[in-house]
């Protein structure tokens, strides 16, 4: 059993129900926590601190603070990898070519507006879950 952090980003909130349905279709994953959050710019900068030197950083902060996000904890065997595979590649245009059924192919727009996030390692999952669900422990 493993936990991963999922964020439905502002561009996909209009279709959040459909993204949640995709999660529900993955029989081995269970939604264990969910919060609707209006990220403040200072919180977004902390969350994406690893990208602070990238040219797209301020655009990224503007994007993820442009509307509410849905934060979730998913639990299941190999949850991190299972959800990353369901997401598809970072760039939604690339996702439509190489992973047509993926969440980013279906609900995202381009390399920035890509609908959803998933932790890329156990360390990231722990950090990101603590960020949004402080009292949550990986089980």
- Taking the C-alpha atoms of residue 19 and residue 26, their distance in angstroms, rounded to an integer, is 11
Interface pick for ligand ATP out of 120, 121, 122, 131 (rule CB under 6 A) = 120
Q: Which of 71, 117, 132, 133 is catalytic?
A: 117
Q: How far is the CB of 42 from ligand ATP (least distance, A)?
A: 17
Joined tokens for residue 3: 């936990």
Give the number of residues in contact with ligand ATP, rule: CB under 6 A: 11
By CB under 6 A, the residues from 14 to 33 that bind ligand ATP are: none
Q: Tokens representing 139?
A: 């089980």
- What are the b/e assignments for 63-99, b being 16+ CB within 10 Å? bbbeebbbbbbbbbeebbebbbebbbbebbebbbeeb
Residues 11 and 108: beta-carbon distance below 8 Å: yes
Question: Which tokens go with 72?
Answer: 């979730």
Question: Is 117 a residue of the active site?
Answer: yes
Q: Is 73 annotated as a binding residue?
A: no
- Our CB check for ligand ATP shows the closer of 90 and 136 to be 90
| Residue 93 makes contact with ligand ATP by CB under 6 A | no
- Binder among 15, 20, 66, 90 for ligand ATP (CB under 6 A): 90
Chain contacts with ligand ATP (rule: CB under 6 A): 51, 56, 59-60, 90, 111-112, 114, 117-118, 120
């Amino acid at each position: 059993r493993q936990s991963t952090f999922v964020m439905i980003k502002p561009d996909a909130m209009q279709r959040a129900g459909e993204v949640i349905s995709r999660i529900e279709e993955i029989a081995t994953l269970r939604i264990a926590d969910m919060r609707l959050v209006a990220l403040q710019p200072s919180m977004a900068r902390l969350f994406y601190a690893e990208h602070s030197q990238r040219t797209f950083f301020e655009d990224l902060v503007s994007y993820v603070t442009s509307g509410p996000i849905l934060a979730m904890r998913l639990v299941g065997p190999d949850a991190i990898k299972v959800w990353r595979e369901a997401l598809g590649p970072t760039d939604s245009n690339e996702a439509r070519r190489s992973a047509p059924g993926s969440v980013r192919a279906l609900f995202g727009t381009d390399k920035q507006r890509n609908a959803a996030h998933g932790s890329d390692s156990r360390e990231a999952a722990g950090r990101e879950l603590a960020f949004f669900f402080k009292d949550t422990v990986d089980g």
